[in-house]
Structure 1
C-alpha cells in the first residue's frame, strides 16, 4: 500500500546550518557586548593551546620586536612608549588572564608578574639580554645578566630558554665529603670570569687588583677556621657561643646575607642547621661553588625584599657586606626586612659591620637601635687593615628580636 508522505519544504541540513550560523552570530554579539563573559575563556584556552603547540616544534621561535608581531602582547595596557621593548619581555611582564576567570586568592581575574619597571630603564641592556630563541638555548651572557640584576632588574625576565652548561659535567662529591673539597672544574661555565679554573681562584689571593672575597675559594686557608673560636679582641664570635644563647635545638633555619662561598652555612649544616646563602658572582662562580658544597645559594641582590614570610627564620647572619657602602635608607630597609623575617626570639648576627668612626655614633648606632632589637652582644673595635689614619671601626653584634611585643 502506498504511504502518504507530505512534501517537505525545508530540508534538515539547511535547518541545522541556519541554527549553527545563528548561534555563532549570537555568541559573537555577546562576546563583543559583554567583555567579561565566559566566552573569553574559550578564546584564552584556544590561545594557550596554540601557544603550546607552537612551542613543541623542533625549530624554536625567534623572539621578534613587538611591532612585528600580531599576538596579544601588543594588546596589553602598556604605555605606547614601552612597545618597542622586546616582545618576550612584554610577554613576561604583562598581566596574564586566569584561564578560569576571577580567583578569590588573587582577588582578580589575572596574574601580574613581580617584575618590570627597573628593567625598562636600561632598554639597550634589556634588548641584548632578551634576544634569545624561545624553547632554545640561552645565550652565554652571565655578565650581562648580573649587570641588569644589580641595576634593579630583579627577578631577571628571561624565562623560556635553557641555560648554558658544561659539556661534560662531573657529579659533585657526596655528603659530607663535599663540604671541604674543591669541586671539579667541569662544574662551572667559566666564560664570565677572569679565572678559568679553581686553581686560579685559589691562588688569586696573591694577585694584585680587586676581587670580591679574594681568598674565599681556598678551603684550606682562612675558611678552614672561620667561626670556630672567639678572637680578634672579641669581634669574632664563634658559632657555638652564639648557639649557646638559645635553648638547644631551637636554632634550625636561617639566612646568611652575602655569604661568600657559604662556609658559614656549611658550619651550621654540620650542626644540623639549614642556612641559605645569598651571593653574587662577582668575578667568580660563587653560586655554583656553594651548590657544589651541598648547601643552598640564593642569587639575589641586597636591594631585593627577602623572599621569606614574616616571623619564620631562627637566625640571620651577615659578615662585611652590610656596611657603610650601602645607602643609609636602603640599609634601614634591609635591617627592618631582617627583623620582619626573624621569628620572635630569633637572632641577627651582625658580623664585622664597618664604618668611619664619626659615622658610628652619629648615624649607625641610632639607625640600628631604631629597629627594635634587644642587644645580646655588642663589641666595637678598630679596623686597621687599611691604616689607622682612616679611623675606621668594626661592630660585631648579636641582636635578638623581642620574644614578646615584637611589633
Structure 2
C-alpha cells in the first residue's frame, strides 16, 4: 500500500546557501595559505601609499599593476615611508626596454645612507601629496650632511614668503643686499639681513663667514689685489696665467655668499657656487645676487662630466677638518672635472705645521697637477701657539698626458 506522505524534494534555496558558505570558506583558506605571496606584499604597499595620499583629491595616485611592475621590495623596506618607496622603487618605462638605461625600468637615485636614518627620513617624507611641504629646512640639511645625498624628491610645494619681492635687476643685484622678504627665516638664528650683517659685532665665537653677508665690508675687497705675504692671489693675476678668453666656466667649492662668482661674472666668466645653509640663507642670498648656487655638501661627487671645467676654486673649506682619505678622493674628483690645461686654485688651505710636510703636501702633489704657484705661510688668526700653516696654490691639470 502506498504511503500517504510523498517524499520532500531538496530546496533550491538551501542548495545555493550551502554553495555560498563553501565558496567563502575556500576563499578564506586560500588567502591565509598564500598571504605572504608577492601579490599580497604588493597590495600591502599599495594600501600604505594610498593611505598616505588619501588627502589628495586633485591628482589621482597611479600605481602600476603588480603583473607589470618589477617590485624589489624587501620585508625590511616596509618600515620606510610610503612616499620614499613610491619614489625610489623601480618604475616601468612606458615604452618598454630602453638602450639608454639598458633596462625596462628607471630607478631614481637617492643617497644610500638615507635608509640608515628611518626616523629622520619618515619625518622628511611625510606630507600631503600635491600640497605644501613642511617647513623643515633644518631636517633636510641634517639628512644631507649625514650622507643622504641626493635627498629623495618630494611631491609637495616648499614654503615661501607670502609677500615676496622681486630681486634687484642685474648688475645692481651683484652688490646690493636683497629684501628680507626673499627668505623664509624659520631655520636661522637671525631673522633679517641686518642681523646677519651685524653679527660680526655681536657674535663672539669664531666663524669664518660671520661677516660675509656685509657686501660693503671685507667682501668688497676680496681677490682684487695681492697681499698677505703672497698668499692672497688676485683674480686678474690668476687669469693672466692662461690665454685671454680660455677661462670661461668653473666652480667655487664652499663659496660663502658667492663673491668669487660675482667677481668672475664681472669678467664674463660663469662660476657656480656650492654652499650649505649653515645658520644663514646662503643659497637664497647667492641666487638674489644673480649667480648660481649649488646646494650640495663637500662629500657629494661633483655633478659635472669629465674634462669640462676651465677652473675650480676653493677657499678654506678644503682643509684638515676633512679626513685625509676623503680629501684624496675629493681632489681627484676636482682633477676629473677640470679639462686638460684647467686650473685648480686652492685658496688658503690650512693645517698644523707638522701635518703639512708629512701628510698634506705629499697628498696634494700625488694628484698629478703641475705647480704654477705654491706659497706657504703662517696662519696667525687663532694664535701663533697653534702652529697653523696656510697654503695657497695655483695648480694646472696637464695639457697633455693628463691621465
Q: Give the TM bin, normalised by the shorter chain.
A: 0.7 to 0.9
Structure 1 153/37 Cα, relative in aligned 2: closer, same or farther at 3 Å? Answer: closer
Structure 1 143/237 Cα, relative in aligned 2: closer, same or farther at 3 Å? Answer: same
Q: Give yes or no for the alignment of 1:124 onto 2:119.
A: yes
Would you say the 8 A contact 2:45–2:82 is kept in 1?
Answer: no
TM-score for the superposition, normalised by structure 1: 0.82
Structure 1 6/355 Cα, relative in aligned 2: closer, same or farther at 3 Å? Answer: farther
Separation of aligned partners in 1, 2:250 and 2:325: 24
Separation of aligned partners in 2, 1:25 and 1:108: 43
Separation of aligned partners in 2, 1:124 and 1:45: 19
Q: CA deviation at 1:402?
A: 0.2
Separation of aligned partners in 2, 1:299 and 1:290: 11
Would you say the 8 A contact 1:229–1:238 is kept in 2?
Answer: yes
Q: CA deviation at 1:184?
A: 0.1
Question: Computing the radius of gyration over CA atoms, which structure comes out larger, 1 or 2?
Answer: 2
Q: CA deviation at 1:401?
A: 0.2
Tell me whether 156-165 or 19-28 shows the greater mean CA deviation.
19-28
Separation of aligned partners in 2, 1:207 and 1:232: 25
Q: CA deviation at 1:22?
A: 27
Would you say the 8 A contact 1:73–1:87 is kept in 2?
Answer: no
Separation of aligned partners in 2, 1:63 and 1:42: 10
Structure 1 380/60 Cα, relative in aligned 2: closer, same or farther at 3 Å? Answer: farther
Would you say the 8 A contact 1:63–1:134 is kept in 2?
Answer: no
SS at match of 1:7: coil
Q: CA deviation at 1:345?
A: 0.2
Aligned residues: 402
Aligned to 1:387: 383
TM-score for the superposition, normalised by structure 2: 0.83
Q: CA deviation at 1:9?
A: 34
Would you say the 8 A contact 1:63–1:133 is kept in 2?
Answer: no
Would you say the 8 A contact 1:66–1:87 is kept in 2?
Answer: no
Q: CA deviation at 1:156?
A: 1.1
Separation of aligned partners in 2, 1:103 and 1:6: 76
Would you say the 8 A contact 1:65–1:86 is kept in 2?
Answer: no
Would you say the 8 A contact 1:170–1:187 is kept in 2?
Answer: yes
Q: CA deviation at 1:35?
A: 21
Structure 1 15/155 Cα, relative in aligned 2: closer, same or farther at 3 Å? Answer: farther
SS at match of 1:254: strand
Residue of 192, 199, 221 corresponding to 1:197: 192
Separation of aligned partners in 1, 2:241 and 2:5: 100
Separation of aligned partners in 2, 1:303 and 1:66: 37
Structure 1 101/244 Cα, relative in aligned 2: closer, same or farther at 3 Å? Answer: same
Structure 1 275/11 Cα, relative in aligned 2: closer, same or farther at 3 Å? Answer: farther
Structure 1 53/62 Cα, relative in aligned 2: closer, same or farther at 3 Å? Answer: closer
Q: Give yes or no for the alignment of 1:146 onto 2:138.
A: no
Aligned to 1:87: 82
Where in structure 2 are there 5+ consecutive unaligned residues?
A: none
Q: CA deviation at 1:102?
A: 1.0
Structure 1 287/68 Cα, relative in aligned 2: closer, same or farther at 3 Å? Answer: farther
Separation of aligned partners in 2, 1:348 and 1:250: 14
Separation of aligned partners in 2, 1:347 and 1:24: 75
After superposition, the C-alpha distances for 1:210-231 in whole angstroms (9 at most, x for unaligned) are: 5561001000000000000000
Tell me whether 52-61 or 357-366 shows the greater mean CA deviation.
52-61
Structure 1 52/291 Cα, relative in aligned 2: closer, same or farther at 3 Å? Answer: same
Would you say the 8 A contact 1:66–1:84 is kept in 2?
Answer: no
Separation of aligned partners in 2, 1:303 and 1:155: 11
Separation of aligned partners in 2, 1:2 and 1:98: 78
Structure 1 30/101 Cα, relative in aligned 2: closer, same or farther at 3 Å? Answer: farther
Aligned to 1:227: 223
Separation of aligned partners in 1, 2:190 and 2:390: 32
Separation of aligned partners in 1, 2:27 and 2:96: 18
Q: CA deviation at 1:355?
A: 0.2
Structure 1 387/91 Cα, relative in aligned 2: closer, same or farther at 3 Å? Answer: same
Q: CA deviation at 1:120?
A: 0.8
Would you say the 8 A contact 2:72–2:89 is kept in 1?
Answer: no
Tell me whether 25-34 or 254-263 shows the greater mean CA deviation.
25-34
Structure 1 111/62 Cα, relative in aligned 2: closer, same or farther at 3 Å? Answer: closer
Separation of aligned partners in 2, 1:257 and 1:230: 21
- What RMSD in Å do the two structures reach over aligned CA positions? 8.1
Separation of aligned partners in 2, 1:238 and 1:308: 26
Q: CA deviation at 1:197?
A: 0.3
